[in-house]
A and B are shown apart, each in its own frame.
Chain A
């Protein structure tokens, strides 16, 4: 598959994930908490593709979800970019690991990312982000992404087979 084909697959994957998040996953709430699909996308992209692709995927999905959130446009893009990059860097330098470690990292990174999102959002003047409920959101969303990260890791590998093969 050509590089252009890999990027096309990535774009298709991102758009599909965004539509599914808006139309389906945001309704599948447990304790009032929806899965954090965009965060899972950024984190798993970093785990599979490394820091650069993690950052790009995080930025793209962040911009997409920012269109639908009341918070400042660009806030999700900023945080998912940093998170995708950071997880990719960790994977590259530390983990290089078994699938189950990747899944655990995705869950922990989700919880951490939500905490950063809330704190940074509050610092930028957004209200109601850092609340008592935040820790419930972090816990449930991490559990959700523990499950979601498995198919997402597989889908990223499907998106970038040749690119990853060339780099290994």
Chain B
């Protein structure tokens, strides 16, 4: 008898919890604002506890990464040493190249990113699960002027865009490494607008659509956002450097492999460009 009652009660509990979950899913899919506010409040309430634990366990995580990623670190160290030597030798040339790039962007009529209003944001949540490798959460939201689709950059260039309607004080950033992320680009010096997309964490960007086979592109060329009419991104945000060129003879297109100029891993602070293409048009 008692077992029967318990079984019945557990079924009722299950149905209640399933209905609750389904309700929450539906409300969230419809961007129900009170739910989003509740989420934010709960996250804020939980934040001090989490921050404290983060500080406490950071050394453990660092030690773990040092142990499990030792080979990668060693290889990366070697590459960095080589790069450092090259950089030291080319410091003067680099300064010159920056001036030339600036001039080139000017010629192309590309506005500077610095002119666009922006807010600096802290990355409050990096990846906590195994299915969220391509997004981070930042501590700026609609109260700061952040809107869905706005570009997010670091000193190195574009790292993503605001994904979905932001909360009042939080937003989610879809990272450029996401295979589903697409951005209109052009190779500096050419006029062909192409589409670049991510290829997974730590991978290069692939420019696979739009770049005709006869467009002059060389390894080492800079790739920037195209900023074509109504693009989500202003023109001239650095994307990366061409490292490999392949040809799709069937479609008469060039496929570029681009080494991203900004590192989308281990982000601490980012800048949201408060860029509204429609406002720019008007």
Residues of A within 8 A of B (CB): 15, 19-24, 26-30, 32-34, 36, 50-52, 55-56, 59, 62-63, 65-75, 77-78, 81-82, 85, 88, 114, 117-118, 121, 124-129, 137, 141, 167
Contact = CB atoms under 8 A, between A and B. Distances in A.
A63 B75 CA distance: 40
A67 B21 contact: no
Nearest to B60: A24
16 contacts: A19-B49, A22-B54, A23-B50, A28-B60, A32-B133, A34-B129, A67-B46, A69-B131, A70-B135, A73-B39, A74-B21, A74-B24, A74-B28, A88-B10, A129-B131, A137-B130
B79 interface: no
Given A78-B18, A81-B21, A141-B130, A50 B10 contact: yes
Given A23-B54, A24-B61, 13 more contacts: A21-B128, A24-B57, A28-B64, A29-B64, A34-B127, A67-B43, A68-B129, A71-B132, A74-B23, A121-B131, A127-B180, A128-B178, A137-B131
Interface of B: 6, 9-10, 13-14, 17-18, 20-25, 27-29, 35, 39, 42-43, 46, 49-50, 53-54, 56-57, 60-61, 64-65, 68, 125, 127-135, 137, 163, 172, 178-180, 201
Q: Which of A65, A75, A88 has the most CB of B within 10 A?
A: A75
A71 B54 CA distance: 23
A85 B14 contact: yes
A52 B9 contact: yes
A124 B25 contact: yes
A129 B2 CA distance: 42
A36 B22 CA distance: 22
A73 B14 CA distance: 18
A118 B131 CA distance: 8
B172 to A, nearest CB: 5
B82 to A, nearest CB: 26
Contact of A51 (B10, B24, B54): B10
B93 to A, nearest CB: 37
A23 B124 CA distance: 12
Q: Specify the main secondary structure of chain B where it touches its partner.
A: helix
B35 A73 contact: yes
Nearest to A36: B130
Given A32-B201, A114-B130, A141-B130, A52 B6 contact: yes
A49 to B, nearest CB: 10
A3 to B, nearest CB: 14
Contacts of B21: 59, 62, 74-75, 77-78, 81
Contact of A34 (B13, B23, B60, B130): B130
B17 A59 contact: yes
B18 to A, nearest CB: 6
A89 to B, nearest CB: 8
A29 B163 contact: no
B76 to A, nearest CB: 16
Contact of A81 (B17, B23, B56, B201): B17
A44 to B, nearest CB: 17
A91 to B, nearest CB: 13
A84 to B, nearest CB: 9
A33 B131 CA distance: 9
B129 A59 contact: no
Contacts of A56: 13, 17
Contacts of B131: 69, 71, 117-118, 121, 126, 128-129, 137
Closest 5 CB pairs of A and B: A74-B24, A27-B61, A23-B53, A52-B10, A78-B21
A63 B25 CA distance: 11
A63 B38 CA distance: 12
B28 A69 contact: no
Contacts of B60: 24, 27-28
Nearest to A78: B21
Nearest to A79: B21
